[in-house]
Amino acid sequence: MTAQTNAMPASMFADARKLLPGFMLCTVIAITAAFVSDHYGGPKFLYALLLGIAFHFLSDNDKCIPGIEFSAKKLVRIGVALLGARIAFSDVADLGLAGVGALAGAVVLTIGFGMLMARMLGLPSMLGLISGGATGICGISAAMAISATLPQTKENEHYTLLTAIGVATFSTAAMILYPLVVSAGGLSVGEAGMFLGGSIHDVAQVVGAAFMISPAVGDAATLAKMFRVAMLVPVVMVLAFGFRAQSAQAAGGKKAPLLPFFLIAFAALVVVNSLGWIPVQVVEVSSDVSRWCLVISISALGVKTSFEKLAALGWKPIALLSSETLFIAFYMMAIVMLMRLLSA
């Protein structure tokens, strides 16, 4: 019993040591980005992304990989979960029934468009389904969750990898370009939040793009994005039911959770904050911790970004993913313009 007890801290320490090099790399990049932002102005998220890309050569370093992956995948979820402490139920009213319907439509229509576009390009429908779901819902996490419900073949694994590489790149490009679209279009806080939260693939890039503009836009975009993330639940459940027969042979495989834990934590903090149980000081601290988690995670995403790998995919998958990206962006901009017209 004593040997087992002593082995657990040793194992945890060993795991922490594996994460340290990559995590410290991303943290130093984040601190540098914050220093440049504080002293010379400009968005720290963008600086973190660009500085991270400059260190892409370390993304294949065996010592750095575990920490980079941890920073990119785990910290962003912690950061987003803590953002729930800044949002209350009263904020949901800003979406309204029209906003909810528009965001749900974005998810369903993008998946359908992806499958249609895949057929037109002569690509497998499974690739269209995975890429459309990833673009419409929440990026790489959605791609992996959807893939887990499909028949576990090497082809589907390959489609998931293609989608992950493409979505990461197009989402990063959207993070840089879409704030310029918001500025050029003169969008209000609510409109900017709806557009950014409704059109950018991954949660991290939504938060990064929105907070480049202002904290208020960041909150609005996070709310819209988290509704899209919540759409993962019904989509995955429908697919799991539809492919249950084909997936029966893979019953022993590891399945992605239907409801991401960070989404549960986010919702729980929103409930607690709506009830007024979180002191203002705690909200401020959680906001600071959340911001640092997100800046470090953006740094990691920058380190992982490779334009060479995207070029190696061939033109058809690139055409598919880019068309899906443009489709949801134009759809959400049309929705925003329609809402502005109706409210005039």
**pLDDT per residue as tens digits for the range 263-285:** 678 778 888 988 888 888 998 89
Query: Which of 130-134, 227-231, 266-270 is the most confident on average?
Result: 130-134
N- to C-terminal Cα separation, the chain:
71
pLDDT confidence of residue 197? 93
232 — pLDDT class (breaks 50, 70, 90)? confident
Using a 10 angstrom Cβ sphere, with 0-12 exposed, 13-18 middle and 19 or more buried, the burial of residue 263 is buried
Q: For 238-252, what is the mean pLDDT?
A: 63
State the pTM of this model: 0.71
Band of residue 331 on the pLDDT scale cut at 50, 70, 90: very high
Quick check: 2 pLDDT over 70?
A: no
Domain ranges of the chain: 96-343
Query: Which residue has better confidence, 60 or 5?
Result: 60
pLDDT at 260: 62
Q: Range with the lowest mean pLDDT among 153-157, 160-164, 226-230? A: 153-157
Quote the pLDDT of residue 230.
75
Mean pLDDT of 252-273: 70
Q: What is the pLDDT of residues 78-114, one digit of tens each?
A: 887 887 787 776 666 667 888 889 999 999 999 999 9
Largest Cα–Cα separation, the chain:
71
Per-residue pLDDT, averaged over 232-239, amounts to 79
| Average pLDDT score over residue span 162-186 | 87
Identify the pLDDT of residue 252: 52
Average pLDDT over every residue of 129-156: 81
**Contact by Cβ (8 Å): 235, 54:** no
Quick one: which of 26, 20, 19 has its CA closest to 296? 26
Q: What is the pLDDT of residues 6-32, one digit of tens each?
A: 555 667 777 888 999 999 999 999 999
Window from 194-208, 229-243, 326-340 with minimum mean pLDDT: 229-243
- Rounded mean pLDDT of 317-340? 94
Q: What is the dihedral of CA 176, 46, 111, 231, to 10 degrees?
A: -140
The predicted-structure confidence for 177-221, as pLDDT tens digits, reads as follows 999 999 999 999 989 999 999 999 887 789 889 988 988 898 889
Q: Which pLDDT score is estimated for 140? A: 76
Across the chain, mean pLDDT equals 83
What is the C-alpha to C-alpha distance for residues 137 and 126, in angstroms, rounded to an integer?
16
Residue pair 66/74 in contact by the 8 Å Cβ criterion: no
305 vs 341, residue with greater confidence: 341
Tell me the HSE value of 269 on the side-chain side, using a 13 A CA sphere: 23
> Radius of gyration (Cα) for the chain, nearest Å?
20
165 vs 176: CA distance, rounded Å: 17
Whole-number pLDDT of residue 64: 94
Of residues 319 and 248, more confidence is placed in 319
Mean pLDDT of 239-246: 70
Q: Tell me which of 86 and 225 has the higher pLDDT.
A: 225
Neighbour count for residue 217 (Cβ, 10 Å): 25
pLDDT band at 334 (very low <50, low <70, confident <90, very high): very high
**Over the stretch 58-70, which tens digit does the pLDDT of each residue have?**
988 999 999 998 9
- Report the pLDDT averaged over residues 148-167: 76
Q: Three-class SS of residue 22?
A: helix
